[in-house]
Structure 1
Amino acid sequence: MTAKLLPTRTVAKPWGCDTLPAPFAAPAGERIGEIWFEPDAALPDLLVKYLFTCEKLSVQVHPGDAQAPFGSRGKEECWLVLNAEPDARLAIGFREPVSAEAMHAAALDGSIEHLLEWHGVQAGDFFYLPAGTVHAIGPGLALIEIQQNSDITYRLYDYGRPRELHLDEAVAVAAGEPHPPAMRRRLGEQESAVLVDGPHFRLERLCGLPDAGLAARFPAAALVVPVRGNVTAGGLAVAAGQCAQVSSLRDIGFDPKGEALVAAPI
């Protein structure tokens, strides 16, 4: 078995934070919104990020594979909430069905924010967002995001910030409908679970030691993201805040009191 730590990229955002939770640190004078783990050539289709928010993100949407520009992939993603301040919220999908024309008009006047379904969240909440899901993230949150490796984002509304909007592209790919309840759940503090099983990737949350079938469910290369405690793989120690790419999940040492995410493309 081979294992390697993926290098990180620190991404400043207007909605980011100047103070990050350990083990991360924001450079002086910068507001960091995302920590990316750079994909390796052996697993180019998945991207793992940490997100830290002190202001609202834009109201936005991502295209699917069939809608993405030629030569690029779409973006389906999921979020696991790590920390949430009181009253922290996420918006996913609409409260009621919305036509393309109404969505466009609401994006222009800013009322689209109030058409969305906002969810109060806490640590352990999980959301899967199919491509085409209109969404927004509020302040006071730390998340792990697992996604298709794509950075195509169409902004519908950005609270007056001087960034480009993409109304025509966004409305063309957006699903003007509620988010299916089956695609979100609240996990117990020590609950292991299969979080995603396709169509683009598989994702599991492991609390404590995994069952004997883990390697069979991830038969090829995978990403391992410790959330609490350390993981050992091929003689490599992987700590919380890091992400390792492993050629196999056989003989990996998981912390019996820890928590980790394991992801692989399908």
Structure 2
Amino acid sequence: MTPAKLPTITVEKPWGVASLPAPFAAASNKRIGEIWFDPPADCPLLAKYLFTSERLSIQVHPDDAQARARGEATGKEECWFILDAEPGATLGIGTVRPLSAAELRAAALSGAIEDLMEWHAVTPGMFFHIPPGTVHAIGGGISLIEIQQKSDVTYRLYDYGRPRELHLGDGSAVAHAVPMPLSMQIAVARQSAVLLSGACFSVAYIEGKDLRPIAAVEGPLLLVPIAGSVEIDGIGVEAGECFWGARAAAITANEGSRFLVAGVGWR
């Protein structure tokens, strides 16, 4: 493993935005929905920015065991840190009541799933954990950072009439369609803290020079600055960039910096 900044991949999406926010450069005549940080083979995580002008599909991801049973390498657990949100912007996470697999499939076919989703109002600084099996959708008018297992396995349940493939069989089979537990949502205070401590990966928010939440972590870290700059063994990393392979002891943060760090094997 060679610690380094990760290259970016810009992805056009019909639900993306025509004008990217700072620090990203504007892209003329394109609707950019995602900016990925291409992970090397030894990195089990993926970080990316999402920019939405309309709702994404309602979807669900399998866990590791469910994915392997379907020929995939791993499942997909993810989390979102909200950077910006227009007034009235929402995330769909969970369903208003428990739904069986048959009920979920029928609701997806009829379109009733739109009204059966729990739509949560969002503001900048909120953090959401999306475990495998969670029925979810990102609404329009939102900019966020997503950190996830390095997997692209997604089962699309409903896409508002857009002509894309649905995966109702697998999706309804792996879904745990229930209301969102309150523990999946955090209003991040402006202080360093562990946001997620899980079997697949953990995430911490770091404010300024307070590295205490990751001080004991020895494994490699994925680091995503939100504001300001961070140095890792003398390499500067700024908002809009991502670094893989950081060691906690090698991180030097500035007073005005804010960043996310993620890794596996620590809690």
Give the TM-score range, shorter chain.
Answer: over 0.9
Deviation at 1:41, TM superposition (A): 2.6
Question: What residue in structure 2 maps to residue 158 of structure 1?
Answer: 159
Deviation at 1:212, TM superposition (A): 4.6
User: 2:218, 2:202 → 1: CA distance?
Assistant: 11
Question: What residue in structure 2 maps to residue 102 of structure 1?
Answer: 103
User: 1:12, 1:23 → 2: CA distance?
Assistant: 18
Alpha-carbon contact 1:215-1:248 (below 8 Å) kept: no
User: 1:263, 1:135 → 2: CA distance?
Assistant: 22
Identity across matched positions, percent? 52
Alpha-carbon contact 1:3-1:236 (below 8 Å) kept: no
Alpha-carbon contact 2:196-2:204 (below 8 Å) kept: yes
What SS does structure 1 have at the residue aligned with 2:249? coil
What SS does structure 2 have at the residue aligned with 1:119? strand
Deviation at 1:100, TM superposition (A): 1.5
Deviations 1:96-140 (A, max 9, x none): 111222111110111101101110000011110110100011100
Deviation at 1:66, TM superposition (A): 0.7
Alpha-carbon contact 2:59-2:158 (below 8 Å) kept: yes
What SS does structure 2 have at the residue aligned with 1:105? helix
Question: What residue in structure 1 maps to residue 148 of structure 2?
Answer: 147
Distance 1:213 1:173, change over 3 A: closer
Give the number of aligned pairs. 263
Question: What residue in structure 1 maps to residue 263 of structure 2?
Answer: 264
Which structure 2 residues correspond to residues 61-140 of structure 1 after superposition, within 5 A?
61-68=60-67, 69-140=70-141
Question: What residue in structure 2 maps to residue 229 of structure 1?
Answer: 228
Question: What residue in structure 2 maps to residue 51 of structure 1?
Answer: 50
Using the size of structure 1 for normalisation, the TM-score is 0.95
Deviations 1:145-178 (A, max 9, x none): 0100011111111011111111111101111211
Using the size of structure 2 for normalisation, the TM-score is 0.94
Alpha-carbon contact 1:76-1:148 (below 8 Å) kept: yes
Q: Which ranges of structure 2 fall in alignment gaps of 5 or more residues?
A: none
Pairwise CA RMSD: 1.5
Alpha-carbon contact 1:3-1:234 (below 8 Å) kept: no
User: 1:106, 1:213 → 2: CA distance?
Assistant: 42
Alpha-carbon contact 2:192-2:212 (below 8 Å) kept: no
Alpha-carbon contact 2:20-2:27 (below 8 Å) kept: no
User: 2:103, 2:211 → 1: CA distance?
Assistant: 49
Alpha-carbon contact 2:72-2:153 (below 8 Å) kept: no
Distance 1:122 1:213, change over 3 A: closer
